[in-house]
Structure 1
Amino acid sequence: MQVIPTLLAGKDAIVESQTGSGKTHAFLLPLLSMLEAGHDFAQLVITSPSRELATQTFELAKQLLEASELDWRMSLFVGGSDKERQIEKLQYQQPNIVVGTPGRILDLISSSALRVDHVRFLVIDEADMTLDMGFLKDVDAIASKMPEELQTAVFSATIPDKLQPFLRKYLRQPEQIILAPKTIINPDVDNWLFATRGKDKADLVYKLLTVGQPYLALVFANTKQTVDELTDKLKGHGLKVAKIHGGLEPRERKRVMKQIENLEFQYVIATDLAARGIDIPGVSLVINYEIPKDSEYFIHRVGRTGRNGLDGTAITLYSPEEESRVNEIESMGIKFSPKTLENNQIVDSYDRRRRTNRKATKDKLDPKMIGLVKKEQRKRKPGYRNKIKKAITRDRQQKRKIEIRQELRATRKSHKR
């Protein structure tokens, strides 16, 4: 693990980390061990772009502190919680460790309630998501209130160009580290590819959700509007469906999450907020109603299933105009199995590239072979397929013999020289 010695050495770090790389432990373990006794103010601040991510980090830090018997005061500051009560508590006592969302942390600093002038360590978790959600300005404002000798660690699935000015501003000769899980996709997850072929996608999703009765299904769409529309359509089919996206009020989202944890819903429709910001246990099926605009999110979505040694299935719907998007995902190392629905059963389908492959094979044949194929197809006599296959095989064998002879001659000539 490269992160731990880097942080223990007092260096700044830029860490590219995918889901499942163990990054939270990687920064918590060294930084918690370096906190110094006798300080009544915050020494470590960790920002996360969503309430759910911040809460997960807070709970993990709490477990580590309990296991180590370290007596540090820690506070969670996120939107949707009682800010006035937090301000009142801060006037009485400051935490040693702060975990929270950028907006709420900045609010408390701006209110002169939270002091960060003694902070020694700043961790910016999921920096690219922080940027995408428009919170980087808040993080910038938070960092500007901290001491110049601050040690900073930035964790991000990718390092977008728009993140570079911030990195140059606050990090000094940072160590660049890439943390990657052993495999890009859990081998226990089956990736199925469904061609929509002009079908009503909502109806197709309904059939896919009900054909196998998943333990818990998570369906991803790209926008809040699509999530709302798909939720309404599935409810119209009689399914009890929960929805999660950034447009929900904090209390509503918290209530829905609690219901999902209590298994009150079997089907959840969500935006990518749930792909990286929410940990929903027990997901056995993931459906990509829409292919994500950023291919990296495909990894995060599919990573919601196949956890804790359990099998999982991920289904991706696509239309012909999305062929290039599917190719892009495959170039990342994803292997799809083509599937289709027949008589309310999921069955194997054909390779979407079959026409291209057939044309490539045909173009490699000699004109006389192409003529034979056409001639035999016109005859349509019994056994014509086998006859064509045998003729093509003989032709290829003959060509290969000629190639081998040429290679042998060339080898002999080179030896004589």
Structure 2
Amino acid sequence: MSFKDFNFKDYIQEALDEIKFKEPTPVQQKLIPVVRSGRDLVGESKTGSGKTHTFLLPIFEKLNPESRDVQVVITAPSRELATQIYQSTKQIAKHSDTEIRVVNYVGGTDKQRQIEKLKVAQPHIVIGTPGRIYDLFKSGDLAIHKAHTFVVDEADMTMDMGFLATVDKIAASLPKEVQILVFSATIPQKLQPFLKKYLTNPVMEQIKTSTVIADTIDNWLVSTKGRNKNGQILEMLKGMQPYLAMIFVNTKERADDLHSYLVSNGLKVAKIHGGIPPRERKRIMNQVKKLEFEYIVATDLAARGIDIEGVSHVINDAIPQDLSFFVHRVGRTGRNGLSGTAITLYQPSDDSDIRELEKMGITFEPKVFKDGEFQDTYDRDRRANREKAYQKLDTEMIGLVKKKKKKIKPGYKKKIQWKVDEKRKRERRAANRAKGRAERKAKKQSF
């Protein structure tokens, strides 16, 4: 399927051609028709699945540029994510012959200037963080009471950051017939009361990706046992020579510590976390986009709230406390079909977390950084795997192996070895026959 099969308005198709969007993602293919139908929707899909255009394209299709009213309200939990949606929206809007007014309202910007502009004209599409949008509505400057579409993006993150009560107030201010679209990586139980309160018979769609991590990403596991972590990261960064590397840490304090260490060793490193003032964060992001940094130290704010292009490497300084963020972190690289490398540092106490990630379908390649390069190393489970393999031997085999270990005549040793080899050959042949029968049976059933 291609985007042309949706028969969007000409200017929307022009916008898609400009950014070379040809084929819709599974999320877009399944949910764009639902959004176009006018029904309320709860879409559960992972970061990087293309959900921004899933709601933007049908919104533009329905938009009336001749109207003077606010028609669409879109909330996002962070300034960076709101700005990212705003940029995607502006990219489509600029192709329209009739002006489509799109405005981004986030904290840390000039509120008075925004109010002055609202006196002249209301935007067609409002995008922003819940707090600033509600402030402008409450003061009577932003008129959202006629909007026909309300989008709550990253709903679980909105709830985690304490903004759901404000989103609730915005929803209560909109017309009863408004179409509500909720998108989220997960749908936690605490979100259910909001959904039941405002959504009318919504379509609930969970889009499962074929792989948890994109095929374009090499996912490596590196042990820190007995090593100084700061020194290990510095050594790896110097050896990798990345286009752009993101190093994820679990706390602001760790971000400050690692950033200070890397800078003191001559690397030009950006730092992004929630404790940095909005203006400073905006300045740093602009520098990142201009490729003034080769390395970024960040907390999980950047894992879901920021889309940075050209990330060639991701390093997890530690496994995230919330394991769901692992996928968001790693998903910063290997985007748009490009290759990427994700490196996770771990210690023996992380073993249970690694097993949980493996249960989610995430596979790791064990590596060691040696002589200035990453090299293959042993599986951390090698001892346990040997024990399991030994346990699988039947009684006869165990007896033969034990006999072989004893000091006996060489000729008898050869006989035992022959018996062991023969036993293993018979088992392999039996396994191959069983496999062949299963394949033939499956083939017959497929006809």
TM-score normalized by the length of structure 2 = 0.83
Structure 1 residues 164 and 70: CA distance shift in structure 2, 3 A:
farther
Return the letter of the residue paired with 1:42. Answer: V
CA gap of 1:365–1:74, structure 2 versus 1, over 3 A, is closer
Report matched runs for 1:133-144 at 5 Å: 133-144=161-172
Q: 2:217 aligns with which of 172, 185, 189?
A: 189
Q: Which amino acid aligns with 2:369?
A: L
Q: How many angstroms apart in 2 are the aligned matches of 1:189 and 1:179?
A: 21
Confirm whether residue 95 of structure 1 aligns to residue 123 of structure 2.
yes
Give the alignment's Cα RMSD to 1 decimal.
Answer: 2.8
What is residue 244 of structure 2 aligned with on the other side? Answer: 216
What residue number does 2:233 align with? 205
**Cα distance change, pair 397–130 in 1 and its aligned pair in 2 (3 A):** same
Is the CA contact 1:90–1:114 (under 8 Å) kept in the aligned structure 2?
A: yes
The answer to whether residue 137 in structure 2 is matched with residue 109 in structure 1 is: yes
Q: Residues of 1 paired with 2:415 and 2:50: CA distance?
A: 58
Aligned to 1:409: none
The structure-2 alpha-carbon separation of the partners of 1:285 and 1:45, relative to structure 1 and needing over 3 Å to count, comes to same
- Residue in 2 that maps onto 1:66: 94
1:158-169 aligned within 5 A: 158-169=186-197
Query: 1:351: Cα distance to partner?
Result: 0.8
- 1 CA distance for matches of 2:414 and 2:351? 33
Report how far residue 175 of structure 1 moved.
0.4
Does residue 271 (structure 1) correspond to residue 313 (structure 2)? The answer is no
1:323 corresponds in structure 2 to: 351
Q: Which amino acid aligns with 1:269?
A: V
TM score, norm. by length of structure 1: 0.89
| 1:74-118 Cα distance to aligned partner (Å, 9 max, x none) | 211011110111112112221121011111111111222111111
1:22 to 32, 50, 58: 50
Q: Does the residue aligned with 2:95 lie in a helix, a strand or coil?
A: helix
How far apart in 2 are the matches of 1:197 and 1:375?
Answer: 39
Per the alignment, residue 357 of structure 1 pairs with: 385
- The residue number in structure 2 matching 1:410 is none
Structure 1 residues 60 and 387, CA, compared in 2 at 3 Å: closer, same or farther? farther
Pair 1:366–1:308, CA change in 2 (3 A):
closer
- Higher mean Cα deviation, 12-21 or 68-77? 68-77
Deviates more, 1:255-264 or 1:67-76: 67-76
* Residue 339 of structure 1: how far off its partner (Å): 0.5
Q: Distance in 2 between matches of 1:403 and 1:179?
A: 37
Matched, 1:345 2:373: yes
Judge conservation of contact 2:401–2:420 (CA < 8 Å) in 1.
Answer: no
Q: CA deviation at 1:307?
A: 2.5
Partner residue in 2 for 1:332: 360
Partner of 1:32: 60
Q: Look up the match of 2:110.
A: 82
How far apart are residue 308 of structure 1 and its match?
3.5
Residue of 282, 285, 295 corresponding to 1:254: 282
Count of residue pairs brought into register by the alignment: 403
**Range that drifts further, 322-331 or 366-375:** 366-375
Is 1:43 the counterpart of 2:71? The answer is: yes
Match of 2:155 in 1: 127
Contact 2:315 2:344 in 1 (8 A): yes
**Structure 1 residue 306, shift from structure 2 partner:** 1.7
**Please, which runs of 5 or more residues in structure 2 have no aligned partner?**
1-28, 433-447
Distance in 1 between the 2:396 and 2:49 partners?
57
Distance 2:98 2:208 in 1: 30
Secondary structure of residue in 1 paired with 2:242: coil
CA drift of 1:167 comes to 0.6
1:363 CA displacement: 1.9
Question: Equivalent pairs: percent with the same residue?
Answer: 53
The residue type paired with residue 320 of structure 1 is P
